A and B are shown apart, each in its own frame.
Chain A
Amino acid sequence: MGIDWESIEMAIPLLAVGAMTTLKISSLAMVIGGIGGIVLGLVSLSHWRAGRWFVRGYVDFVRGTPLLIQIFLVFFGLPVLGLRLGEFWAGTLALSFNCAGYVAEVVRGTVGSVEKGQTEAARSIGMTHGQILVYILLPQSLRPMIPALTNDLVTLVKNSSLLSVISVYELTRSGQAIIAARFVPFEIFALLAIYYYVIVSALTYASRLVERRLPSW
């Protein structure tokens, strides 16, 4: 038996194409889920009661159900709502939806734990609660948020492999196709592990750079 080097050589460029899709989907989901999560997190700290309840339910749902099920719900649910987006966008939305829930919790935790004197000082110059959240507390929380946020984004990249179940030709799905054609599961899964590891390492490195760049006070 031994290792099938020929198949590995053949698979590397094919998997690179899948990796590009993984990167595309992950970046889009990071942006949509990140912005959505910040908004949801701020709403959960606001004085808007209905909004807080909504976020509470949203986060509970995201945390309380498997991502795989969420992916299927979005994939099969969108057509029910009359939206035919195709598997790429359905997958992107499912991941964004999931990511936003986790980011919202990070935002709630960090923004909510800024020292109380900051809120009092802002109130004493007449700022409303919404202005305090956006102009005073959120900017101070960005840097302390980064480690927890990086965790969520790393998870997001790895979770994108689940999109293979709705036939998004991302990294894992591309690997599965090669395995089906040549039956070299060990070699391909090992390659997939390396690909994911490299992507996640790059992301972790980038987050450290950003963290170092952001001023600490």
Chain B
Amino acid sequence: MVSGSKPLLTVEGLSKSFGDRQILKSISFTVMDGETFVLIGPSGSGKTTVLRCLNRLEVPDAGDIRLGDEPVGYRLVAESHTREALSEAALARQQRQFGFVFQRFNLFPHLTALDNVAVGPHRVLGLSKAQALERAATELERVRLGAHLAKRPSQLSGGQQQRVAIARALAMRPRLILFDEPTSALDPELVHEVLDVMRALAAEGMTMIVVTHEMSFARQVANRVMVMADGLVVEEGPPERIFGEPRDARTRQFLTHVLNR
């Protein structure tokens, strides 16, 4: 745990089903401010669904998500102590507090790298076009893409596209960034350039929740690792402990499997 920090995100009893298949079975965890929190587990364990519920790409069936003191997805009506769903605009305001980096980048193909990053600050945060472009250039510089501002996504490699996607998230000044298997769609030789950027962000104190199969990244960068299986939290702890002396049989089985690949 990052010493001296306070909880930024609190999740309690998060559940989600698709049809009659329950993907998340009452998941609870807390992420501290400035922490790198890594989710691992076999595919189908519900890791991605956790991230998608956090910024409301999926609507959870049950559970409480709080960002700081603020409930996510609803507001409490003080007089009646009841919940009221947020309006679309209020929900959008909340959503932009969570940056999201997708497995398949999901850049806007009709926009240049610079415009991909600037469109949010300009259209959503209301910055002037000039200010938004300036911020976008700064963020692209930060992910070492200063030389590719005018290129469209189709002219960039996978690793470059993913770094544009990270810059796009950063430009919104989110309180935390969710990474959904950010290197899974990349050629092996391009993985490190994305991980390097994420390492740098972690070192700067950006709060990150990362779903990944990169065990060396989890081991080196994570403050805490949470292991999931079958929609449940199997165990959670500092990476040295999870990788060094896993307590749960499912963790051991999963680690044996991925580390001996």
Q: Which residues of A are interface residues toward B (Cβ below 8 A)? A: 47, 117-118, 120-129, 131, 135-136, 139-140, 215, 217
Report Cα–Cα, A121/B108, bound state, in Å: 8
The reply to whether B107 and A126 contact each other, CB–CB distance below 8 Å, is no
Report Cα–Cα, A77/B107, bound state, in Å: 49
On chain A, the residues within 8 Å of B98 by CB distance are: 124
Report Cα–Cα, A140/B106, bound state, in Å: 13
Report Cα–Cα, A135/B57, bound state, in Å: 19
Report Cα–Cα, A124/B154, bound state, in Å: 21
Report Cα–Cα, A123/B56, bound state, in Å: 9
Cross-interface CB contact of B104 among A117, A125, A128, cutoff 8 Å: A117
The reply to whether A123 and B106 contact each other, CB–CB distance below 8 Å, is no
Cross-interface CB contact of B124 among A47, A129, A131, cutoff 8 Å: A131
On chain B, the residues within 8 Å of A140 by CB distance are: 108-110
Is B120 part of the binding interface, using a Cβ–Cβ cutoff of 8 Å?
Answer: yes
Stretch at the interface among B88-96, B140-148, B251-259: B88-96
Is B153 part of the binding interface, using a Cβ–Cβ cutoff of 8 Å?
Answer: yes
On chain A, the residues within 8 Å of B168 by CB distance are: 121, 125
Q: What is the interface of chain A mostly: helix, strand, loop, or mixed?
A: helix
- The smallest C-beta distance from B153 to any residue of chain A, in angstroms, reads 7
Is B102 part of the binding interface, using a Cβ–Cβ cutoff of 8 Å?
Answer: yes
On chain A, the residues within 8 Å of B104 by CB distance are: 117
Cross-interface CB contact of A127 among B92, B106, B109, B153, cutoff 8 Å: B92
Q: What residue of chain B has the Cβ atom nearest to residue A116's Cβ? A: B106
The reply to whether A126 and B172 contact each other, CB–CB distance below 8 Å, is yes
Sampled A-B contacts (13; CB under 8 Å): A120-B57, A120-B100, A120-B106, A121-B100, A124-B57, A124-B96, A125-B96, A128-B88, A128-B89, A128-B92, A131-B124, A135-B123, A217-B153
Given contact pairs A117-B104, A121-B102, A139 touches B123 in the complex (Cβ within 8 A): no
B interface, how many residues as a size bin? Answer: 20 to 34
On chain A, the residues within 8 Å of B250 by CB distance are: none
Q: Mark B58-102, 1 if CB is under 8 A from A, else 0.
A: 000000000000000000000000000000110011011011101
The reply to whether B102 and A117 contact each other, CB–CB distance below 8 Å, is yes
The reply to whether A217 and B152 contact each other, CB–CB distance below 8 Å, is yes
- The smallest C-beta distance from B207 to any residue of chain A, in angstroms, reads 16
- The smallest C-beta distance from A145 to any residue of chain B, in angstroms, reads 13
Report Cα–Cα, A125/B100, bound state, in Å: 8
On chain A, the residues within 8 Å of B93 by CB distance are: 126
- The smallest C-beta distance from B218 to any residue of chain A, in angstroms, reads 23
Besides the known contacts A121-B107, A123-B55, A135-B123, 14 further A-B residue pairs in the complex with CB atoms under 8 A apart: A117-B102, A117-B104, A118-B108, A120-B57, A120-B102, A121-B108, A123-B92, A125-B96, A126-B93, A126-B95, A126-B120, A127-B123, A128-B92, A215-B110
Is B169 part of the binding interface, using a Cβ–Cβ cutoff of 8 Å?
Answer: yes
On chain A, the residues within 8 Å of B153 by CB distance are: 217
In the complex, chain B residues 89-135 whose Cβ is within 8 Å of any chain A Cβ: 89, 92-93, 95-96, 98-100, 102, 104, 106-110, 119-120, 123-124
Report Cα–Cα, A217/B119, bound state, in Å: 18
The reply to whether B124 and A217 contact each other, CB–CB distance below 8 Å, is no
Q: What residue of chain A has the Cβ atom nearest to residue B93's Cβ? A: A126
Given contact pairs A215-B110, A217-B154, A126 touches B102 in the complex (Cβ within 8 A): no
- The smallest C-beta distance from A110 to any residue of chain B, in angstroms, reads 14
Report Cα–Cα, A122/B99, bound state, in Å: 11
- The smallest C-beta distance from A128 to any residue of chain B, in angstroms, reads 5
Given contact pairs A47-B88, A118-B108, A217-B110, A123 touches B57 in the complex (Cβ within 8 A): yes
On chain A, the residues within 8 Å of B152 by CB distance are: 215, 217
The reply to whether B88 and A125 contact each other, CB–CB distance below 8 Å, is no
The reply to whether B99 and A124 contact each other, CB–CB distance below 8 Å, is yes
On chain B, the residues within 8 Å of A121 by CB distance are: 100, 102, 106-108, 165, 168
